């Protein structure tokens, strides 16, 4: 039989377990949020690259179509000589890409 010299120790394991679960839960939410932000940023870069390349041959309509197919919205399209510069927004993340038709 175990003797209880300190009755105030009862229940400490429950409080510690709750604290550990709260920390683990917070970390899990942070990892998911950060992962989603990184994924959206990468998607924005992919959509911008595709839109810039499409804009070289098909102009603004092609760039809009390709950015939409990649889950983005074309924010800006600028033709500068042989270069095309686009800005695409995907889920609040913007990316800029440049493509050139020249050497």
Residue 25's pLDDT is 95
Is the separation of the CB atoms in 51 and 97 below 8 Å? yes
Which CATH number is 10-100 given?
3.30.1300
More confident residue, 92 or 7: 92
Q: Against a cut of 0.75, is the pTM above it? A: no
Predicted pLDDT of residue 87: 96
Domain boundaries, the chain: 10-100
Exposure of 65 by Cβ count < 10 A (0-12 exposed, 13-18 middle, 19+ buried)?
A: middle
Residues 6-60 have pLDDT tens digits of 666 667 888 889 999 999 999 999 999 999 999 999 999 999 999 999 999 999 9
């Amino acid at each position: 039989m175990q003797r209880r010299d300190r009755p105030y120790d009862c229940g400490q394991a429950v409080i510690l377990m709750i604290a550990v679960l709260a920390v683990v839960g917070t970390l899990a939410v942070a990892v998911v949020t950060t992962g989603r932000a990184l994924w959206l940023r990468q998607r924005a870069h992919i959509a911008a690259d595709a839109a810039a390349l499409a804009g070289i041959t098909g102009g603004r309509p092609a760039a809009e179509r390709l950015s939409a197919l990649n889950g983005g919205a074309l924010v800006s399209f600028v033709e500068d000589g042989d270069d095309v510069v686009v800005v695409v927004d995907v889920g609040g993340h913007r990316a800029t890409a440049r493509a050139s038709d020249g050497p």
